[in-house]
Amino acid sequence: MHKYLKHILIYSLILIYSCTDEAKVNEETSLAPTTETPQADENKKYNAIINGFNKAIQILRERIKEHESRKAIVNDLDYYKNRITNYDQFISWIEKNPDKKKELDEAWTEAYNLLEQRRAENAPEKTLNEYINDAIDCKENPSCQDTNKYGTQDNQINFFFGYNSHEIFSSSNNIFVSLKKIDISALKDNF
């Protein structure tokens, strides 16, 4: 009987010791200064604008699928395929060049701020990505009546991404230069 009591006592002491030891370790680590890296917000503007271009390219892909399944006729099939290929190459290239990605993030500040302002005024319950996607979907859907949410005369959000995506015709570096000088006049003037 004494043998078991000794074992229980030893195991209890080990358990208590290890519990208090862990608490001390956690206290020591929590006292150390932490450095937080703002990776989520680092490319916030880039991610929001690229989301709109991704949505525009997704619509081109859907048009090609409809053409191939004979649901619709697409006159400029090669043009669409070329834009999609160049865009995909650009996205691969920009992901491998974080310094260029950061440049675009900085260059797109004004466009991002205007889009965010429009979203806050017209759809405060939505995120910016949802607002952009809804604007592009609204343009593609003839029964959508929310066009005033996206501009005063027409759907300026869709026009902004459609107009600027026409720059996607050449090498990744040329696309980068074109997108760095993104035209935001549709967002400024007609909203």
User: Among 143, 2, 1, 117, which Cα is nearest to 48's?
Assistant: 117
Enumerate the domain spans of the chain: 44-189
Amino acid at 16: I
Structure tokens at 111: 């466009």
Q: What is the CA radius of gyration of the chain?
A: 27
Measuring CA to CA, how many Å separate 14 from each of 4, 9, 45, 53?
15, 9, 53, 60
Q: How many CB atoms lie within 10 A of CB 77?
A: 13
Alpha-carbon span 128 to 176, nearest angstrom: 23
Predicted local distance difference test score (pLDDT) of residue 163: 80
Measuring CA to CA, how many Å separate 1 from each of 5, 145, 146, 153?
6, 84, 82, 91
Print pLDDT tens along the chain (191 aa). 666 767 676 777 676 767 664 544 444 444 444 444 445 567 889 999 999 999 988 988 998 898 888 877 878 788 888 888 988 998 999 999 999 999 989 988 998 999 999 899 988 999 999 999 998 888 888 788 776 788 777 788 888 888 877 766 667 777 777 777 777 776 665 55
- pTM beyond 0.85: no
